[in-house]
Amino acid sequence: MSNPKPKLHNAMWPGLVGKGDEEGQEPPISLERMLELTAAAEVNGTKFDGIDYFLFLPHTDPEASDDDLKTIADSIQSKGFDVGSLVAPIWPGTVGDSAMGDAEQRAKFLDAVRMACRIAGVFNEHGVRKHGVIRIDSAEFGVEKWAENPSANTATIIETFQEAAKIAADSGERLAAEGEICWAGMHSWKDMLDILEGVGMPDSLGFQADLAHTYLYLLGYNAPEHALVSENYSDEEFWAAYETMTDKLRPWTIDFHVAQNDGTVHGAGTHDKTGKHCPADDPNGKLDIVKASGYWLKDAQERGIKHICWDGCMFPNAMLEQVNTWNTILDTMIQVRDSHGWS
């Protein structure tokens, strides 16, 4: 059955995250080029509906004027796209800093959230953005420092997230924390749940589920004590564990990334190793993407989800530049929507 909803978006940050001009890094791919590649994808007359993207240079100056932002919005709209979810520039080296850091670091984190909310407001007023969330994480790479005092550090992240959620709510926005094994305090499904429940503001802060990252949650990659399956799991064991995890996190899930993972981690540039994003048709992919998506998209409408996004973060540039990469991804997205979407 063909469903018109949710809308199908592509992420622009694969052209940006992990890229740079340092030794061993691939150069960034411009926002304009990422838009062109996304617009070129087509499967039986169906195209991507919109984009999600990271609010930082070289794609976007987070301090850009309203007029400059409206020019970007015009460019996105000229390709036939809406803007959905936005990634706040919370990481050290962008605008923000650690959500479990000292007062100065946490203030930077909140400044980044304010900037993202301002930009979201400009896009909303322009008309290019009608839905979506603002993505955050703890902006603390690795679990070593967190593990020195888990309860105190988790409490600090919760406090920062509560302040951030208030900023978002005042702007009419919702924040979504993307669970990844590389982010302190969010590095396992259980620790992520502790933070969501600790913040306790479901109308303003929820969870962003990514198929690649949550697969490694199952394995307990950075938290063996919270593993739900062993490495040599059976198919029956896998889906039972997947249901356990999604039943815990789905009620909080307000944004969703379709992705593939081969059971490994990957890092590039300044981005720490996290769940590797693989091509949709990767022969080593561990996930039945369509089936797994159904666990997250159950009752999605009730949680305000209006689009789903493919995340190809840290794909090599050569892969990003191939038209077939995006046609295969779009075809997979269509299958997800046909199986679990709505009218």
Residue 274 has pLDDT above 70, yes or no: no
Residue 270 has pLDDT above 60, yes or no: no
pLDDT at position 275 is 62
The pLDDT tens digits for 78-110 are 999 999 999 999 999 999 999 999 999 999 999
Q: For the chain, how many residues are written?
A: 343
Residue 269 has pLDDT above 50, yes or no: no
Q: Is the pTM above the cut of 0.85?
A: yes
The pLDDT tens digits for 100-154 are 999 999 999 999 999 999 999 999 999 999 999 999 999 999 999 999 999 999 9
Asked whether 76 and 34 are in contact (CB, 8 A), the reply is no
- Strand 307-310 to strand 253-258: parallel, antiparallel, or no bridges (unpaired)? parallel
Residue 53 has pLDDT above 60, yes or no: yes
The pLDDT tens digits for 4-43 are 999 999 999 999 988 998 888 899 999 999 999 999 999 9
Domains of the chain: which residue ranges? 7-338
3-state secondary structure of 339: helix
- Write out the E strands in 153-228: 175-178, 205-210
Neighbouring CB atoms inside 10 A of 244's CB total 14
Kindly report whether the peptide bond that precedes residue 202 is cis, defined as omega within 30 degrees of 0: no
Provide the CATH topology of domain 7-338: TIM Barrel (3.20.20)
Mean pLDDT for all residues in the chain: 95
Residue 194 has pLDDT above 50, yes or no: yes
pLDDT at position 231 is 85
